[in-house]
Structure 1
């Protein structure tokens, strides 16, 4: 038996599923082809953040200059961690928890922490799809329901072509304010000098009122309101779609992604072509990419770039490990990861052209500055962009295309996250969950549980508003009173607090909002938070490079793909990525006070909620270190015997030709046993 044949046979052992000796247990599946893996990964990492976050960050942080810090974080953190997680899954053929248990039992908690993040995402991220479905259904109406003020949910201050001071002539002396319940602006001039960012008077646009009054359902009260049946049905429908995309495992997931991962590109391309042909599009694109090199000196710009890379590339969530685990052992995951990273970043940049061309048109049409219509997150997808689409001829057609794109962008990210969780649980209990029918039941339990936990996110919203003394009671009291607000006055005669039943007339820093959207934002901020992701990324790179051994992992990768990746990755894992993660984390902790900000949403409970969301995944790491110490203190860092080690005698870590850690001389099996096993496997494949 030659050495080449021996190596080939051993590789085949990892390339094929290993049958569990227990009767009735099904083998672990594999992707039918490499394209299924590529599209599944693309569907996960290319999502809503590419469309509604990256373009906004680009214009906010210096236009084209933002690409400099973005690329620094991409090459120093994003790509190294992305490849590490994918290669780990392919090498171990295990999900996001058991993969870490196999290479280093002591740090199984790293995998558990990533799955807690995935649970957060499975519960709240799909709410965006429910909103998209709700908008999609309404997009078939003509005219679009958010394009006019002639709807039951509109208020008296709704105007179809609004904007920040869309009618500046109203603020001239002796101007007529009869449209606001016959209130004149005479006397307002005395207070105009105090009219700053603390208090901005703003009439409501129909798009804002549709989002606030029809979708979010603002009401007077506190805490979570009633669950609205139409949004709950949209959420249920989103879960039904998600369930049937993955209920049979990668057999269905691999086929569904052919459509869900490619269709958004078609929609994005169509919207791009339409956008760049509109008047004002060039101004929008210029605003999007115009470089401002002074921004490079601002630390916030670099933090925004790092945050975007971590979120956009879905690292530290266990999803990449789960998807990589279904690869054949000799798949070239290194090349695949580089292609996927380039595709993701290119999609983000291209999406910016589609978004800002439309925003430029809207600013041109409304004759307002572009800065007044730019937005990110739900504000872009459900207010700014629908407003722009309503200005186009054939607006219903374009609205349908846009919300179909939003739906499919979020759908494949959602069901791949559910697939990751199901894979992790199945690999933890293979003897019970790899039986016929068990997979379908497991995914159904996950879907039903997450659906029920997601219902609070579709409850109505309660508005409360704190107003400083800059505004006179005689001017604002009638407005608030007529809109059902409760008014309290301070000693200086100013408004101390106002609570609104209908759309707020005023936007300022003292705004309180509770209910579904408040809960969504706090979970979105503190669930998959930057703190959690940075610490998990730091732990992953340190475990692989310094505990398991970067050189040993490079040997494993070479055994899989046939050559060693760039040595730059090794030094990123050992030094660069952990240092950048720690520096970014320290800066965030030193400059931000997010818990105090979000206490405006939920009062004193915000700090507790935020602390629990952040601490829950992170506490898993030290807890499992303690468990490993109690379970088997002599083998806390010893890899599983099941892992193939082609060079067990080589040092596990070297640095500048100096041996840092010697080899752990523990081959999987002796040569005679391995050759006998290989001969048996080759015979089973018909090879003599």
Structure 2
């Protein structure tokens, strides 16, 4: 099947080598969740036993959906907004992906700005989160040295931000809450802008813009560093951690099996959730990155390699984290469960304290936070590239404009900075958690993932799509487990987790003490619906726009019509193989191209 290139395709770059695709995908998927979420979930959910539901989730949901998205992008050759036009009834998935990417990138920028504050602080003569003589400290502040004791009679002050502080507040907690966040009393008290954090945010986005404003030819040069260097740093932190006194105790807590935990549905939900987060599925970025591949690129091989590297990094990070936490617990003569924490509490409170107890504390803190910045930074600019390219695919005339890409990149960078700036005020942490829990994670990803499975397997046809995959890979291989997962296991498990998540819904809380007001929760649900409602909304729009009886309308929007499949030269795309055998491996609609809502 020969390739046919349209005028707009000529403006669209391709990966120069197959390694570019692998490194970029790896850089995007290996992020902060591998460091601050997986190790804690493994410890919380039965230690090594958690690997059973995690690996099953990877096999049944993670890898099949990962491969589905990348192969769809490669087959169609367009970003997330145009790729799903192959199935007009579910084209709304592409728009839902765009919204998820916007929300997610605004969160990533804020987290990286926080990490930059710690990285810069690591070069201070005295680490600012270890002392109590700073302008932000209170009279209840307890410096790190007072926590340090080998005595069995000494009292330990909990370092978790959510802990009840009867004996005082650790210096690291005050630095995080009063200096970095400047936490107000609630979401309705916006307060002042944290200008130093805002400066880091602006600086990060300027660098990100310079990495992507010329497209993947520039960004791939950066991603080789940002993808590989954090892994090397993680290995260095791991080697140092396992040599510490008490490391064995931490690793024992991390991997200690508790087989009874397998009967808890929460364990399985945590496993599926972690797979969705760490594999980047449901965001649409994989579709867009796959679209840069050449038609016959072996995307199946790369998907397997990325899955192994991603899950391996998550598992490896647990050794680095819990060996250090074991050291910290032994120094304080306490247990791991009192220092183990997930999310920002681990990265910005617990770990800085643990590293500050080591010789050359400034070096280890700087190394750790540089690793965090690099892990998140490649996600930031890769997601931004995927977002902008998908928008330009909706409005292809931007490809023809001089500086068109650069202008669109700048517009969306500014818009995301504006959104992110609401999260770096004194009330910003409340906005951050609201966007994270409602708009960019959780039920939204499960719903989108379910719709992707259903769209390909039940509406377009799993066997039909698998024929396209075999044509791309130039192979007759048969992997019934993938098509089984596409049609049954993947959508079934994703829907089950979605229903279970809904059944456990509780009002959002901060620090286990502040309950979000009802109006804030309503705003959160609206943000979530702003992504997901595109899917049923666009399906209804296409059905209403079609002609005939309901069954005739449904049949007309299951796949593109012959007219909608026409290329600029009048030939017809391969995605309409049911209509004609004349085809190519790329499509470009020729009708109403100025209207992004018409396929």
1:406 equivalent in alignment to 2:372: yes
Deviations 1:193-224 (A, max 9, x none): xxxx9966241111111111111113567521
Mapping of residues 77-96 of structure 1, within 5 Å? 77-96=61-80
The offset of 1:165, in angstroms, is: 12
Query: Secondary structure of 2:7's partner?
Result: coil
Q: 1:303 to 1:220 in 2, by over 3 A?
A: closer
Mapping of residues 577-588 of structure 1, within 5 Å? 577-588=490-501
**What is aligned with 1:571?**
484
Q: 1:346 to 1:253 in 2, by over 3 A?
A: same
**What is aligned with 1:308?**
274
- The answer on whether the counterparts of 1:260 and 1:411 sit within 8 Å (CA) in structure 2 is yes
1:439 equivalent in alignment to 2:439: no
Query: Secondary structure of 1:444's partner?
Result: helix
1:214 equivalent in alignment to 2:161: no
CA distance in structure 2 between the partners assigned to 1:360 and 1:164 by the alignment? 14
Query: Secondary structure of 1:201's partner?
Result: coil
**What is aligned with 2:550?**
none
The offset of 1:665, in angstroms, is: 3.9
**What is aligned with 2:526?**
612
Q: 1:430 to 1:198 in 2, by over 3 A?
A: closer
1:555 equivalent in alignment to 2:462: no
Mapping of residues 497-536 of structure 1, within 5 Å? 515-536=427-448
1:35 equivalent in alignment to 2:19: yes
Mapping of residues 9-408 of structure 1, within 5 Å? 10=2, 13=3, 17-20=5-8, 27-101=11-85, 103-161=86-144, 201-219=166-184, 222-408=188-374
The offset of 1:115, in angstroms, is: 1.1
Q: 1:137 to 1:424 in 2, by over 3 A?
A: same
Greater shift after overlay, 277-286 or 363-372?
Answer: 363-372
- The answer on whether the counterparts of 1:426 and 1:434 sit within 8 Å (CA) in structure 2 is no
CA distance in structure 1 between the partners assigned to 2:177 and 2:163 by the alignment? 22
The alignment covers a number of residue pairs equal to 559
CA distance in structure 1 between the partners assigned to 2:513 and 2:127 by the alignment? 36
Q: 1:166 to 1:584 in 2, by over 3 A?
A: farther
- The answer on whether the counterparts of 2:151 and 2:333 sit within 8 Å (CA) in structure 1 is no
Which of the two has higher C-alpha Rg?
1
Query: Secondary structure of 1:218's partner?
Result: coil
Q: 1:269 to 1:168 in 2, by over 3 A?
A: closer
**What is aligned with 1:680?**
none
**What is aligned with 1:653?**
none
Greater shift after overlay, 159-168 or 358-367?
Answer: 159-168
The offset of 1:399, in angstroms, is: 0.9
Query: Secondary structure of 1:136's partner?
Result: helix
Deviations 1:326-375 (A, max 9, x none): 00000000010011011100000000111111111111112121111111
**What is aligned with 1:508?**
none
The offset of 1:19, in angstroms, is: 2.6
The offset of 1:548, in angstroms, is: 1.1
- The answer on whether the counterparts of 1:80 and 1:569 sit within 8 Å (CA) in structure 2 is yes
- The answer on whether the counterparts of 1:153 and 1:213 sit within 8 Å (CA) in structure 2 is yes
- The answer on whether the counterparts of 2:105 and 2:416 sit within 8 Å (CA) in structure 1 is yes
The offset of 1:168, in angstroms, is: 9.0
**What is aligned with 2:545?**
631
Deviations 1:369-394 (A, max 9, x none): 11111111111111101001110111
Pairing partner for 1:668 from 579, 582, 594: 582
- TM-score, normalising length from structure 2? 0.89
- The answer on whether the counterparts of 1:48 and 1:410 sit within 8 Å (CA) in structure 2 is yes
- The answer on whether the counterparts of 2:355 and 2:364 sit within 8 Å (CA) in structure 1 is yes
CA distance in structure 1 between the partners assigned to 2:373 and 2:231 by the alignment? 12
- The answer on whether the counterparts of 2:230 and 2:371 sit within 8 Å (CA) in structure 1 is yes
Q: Which has the higher contact order (CA 8 A, sep 6+)?
A: 2
Q: 1:594 to 1:314 in 2, by over 3 A?
A: farther
CA distance in structure 1 between the partners assigned to 2:197 and 2:574 by the alignment? 52
- TM-score, normalising length from structure 1? 0.78
Query: Secondary structure of 1:393's partner?
Result: coil
Q: 1:115 to 1:89 in 2, by over 3 A?
A: same
CA distance in structure 2 between the partners assigned to 1:636 and 1:234 by the alignment? 47
Q: 1:53 to 1:74 in 2, by over 3 A?
A: same
Pairing partner for 2:414 from 448, 467, 482: 448
Q: 1:164 to 1:73 in 2, by over 3 A?
A: farther
- The answer on whether the counterparts of 1:555 and 1:647 sit within 8 Å (CA) in structure 2 is no
**What is aligned with 1:544?**
456
- The answer on whether the counterparts of 1:457 and 1:519 sit within 8 Å (CA) in structure 2 is yes
- The answer on whether the counterparts of 2:11 and 2:399 sit within 8 Å (CA) in structure 1 is no
Query: Secondary structure of 2:21's partner?
Result: helix
- The answer on whether the counterparts of 2:246 and 2:326 sit within 8 Å (CA) in structure 1 is yes
